[in-house]
Amino acid sequence: MPNRHHTTTEWIAACDSNLAEKSLSFAALPGGEVHEGNPRWFVTGSNLAGYNGIVQAVFPADQVDGGVEAALAPFRARNLPLTWWTGPSTQPGNLGMRLQAHGFRHNRDMIGMAAPIEALASPFEHLPEIAFEQVLDTQTLLEWLPLYSAGFGAPPDVATESLRKLGELSFRPDSRWFHFLCRKEGRIITISSLFVNDEIAGLYNLVTDPQERSQGVGAAMTLQTFDWARQCGYRIATLQTTYPNALRLYHRLGFEVYCKFGIYQFLIE
């Protein structure tokens, strides 16, 4: 697939900036704070590790240990767990390994992918018709709970708190979060979210009911979600995936691999 006027460096930057801005957006919650600098970090006061974190850190190789401890200090002072995202703007390249020496647990790695939204297309002759709808309030977002909880391996109480916070963040005029679902015979069978910054729309929270998998539902939801973004004027699609099967599917839809992200969590015992 041609790069459609963007260089590889620009595609990497799109992947990196959307994930970072998505994470920093959580600080818009009441009591949240963003601290720009090196590294960039944010807190919300939540006991959920994903709602406090560090992104885009660059340390000289001989100053990593001191830099990590200094970055941890405000979280320790607040007794907060956090997530540290490593990616293409992270230095040194082995920062993830160094984080583990400071008590971080490696959660997972994700492959960063991107594509021109206008170039996305189904490789299949037919895709299922799905009742695509935008989520417009927290009450409807909470209907995600069974799929969201199962898809991310989160206990229902944790998933409920996460969805409530996401709802609190999302349904206001200045929000850059948008959420979607599809129903089949009244039952929600797939969900998705977009976080947008600049001309970029990033896909998050894509989960499909296991009973509906291998039927093209996930592909249809992906294309419908990005078509909504295209109609709103966004030009670049980004996403991250952990799963090889999803990697192959996204490649067939038009995405290319550009970078890798690591997720490391520091939990309060």
* DSSP state string for 87-145: -TT-BSTTHHHHHHTTT-EEEEEEEEEEEEGGG---SSS-----EEEEE-SHHHHGGGH
Residue with tokens 């009244």: 186
Which domains can be identified in the chain, with CATH numbers?
Answer: 8-113 (no CATH), 116-258 (3.40.630.30)
At residue 266, the pLDDT reads 96
* Contacts (Cβ under 8 Å, ≥6 apart) of 99: 68, 84, 86, 264
Length of the chain: 269
At residue 132, the pLDDT reads 95
At residue 1, the pLDDT reads 44
Amino acid code (one letter) for 54: I
**Interior/surface letters 174-191, b for 16+ CB within 10 angstroms, e for the rest:** eebbbbbbbebeeebbbb
At residue 219, the pLDDT reads 93
**pTM for the complete prediction?**
0.94
Query: pLDDT averaged over consecutive 10-residue blocks of the chain (269 residues)?
Result: 72 97 96 94 94 96 96 95 96 96 96 97 87 96 96 93 96 96 93 97 96 87 97 98 87 96 90
Strand order in the sheet with 82-86: 33-35, 40-43, 53-55, 82-86, 256-266, 105-116, 236-241, 200-208, 187-197, 177-184, 131-135
- DSSP-derived pairing of the beta strands 40-43 and 33-35: antiparallel
- DSSP-derived pairing of the beta strands 53-55 and 82-86: parallel
At residue 265, the pLDDT reads 97
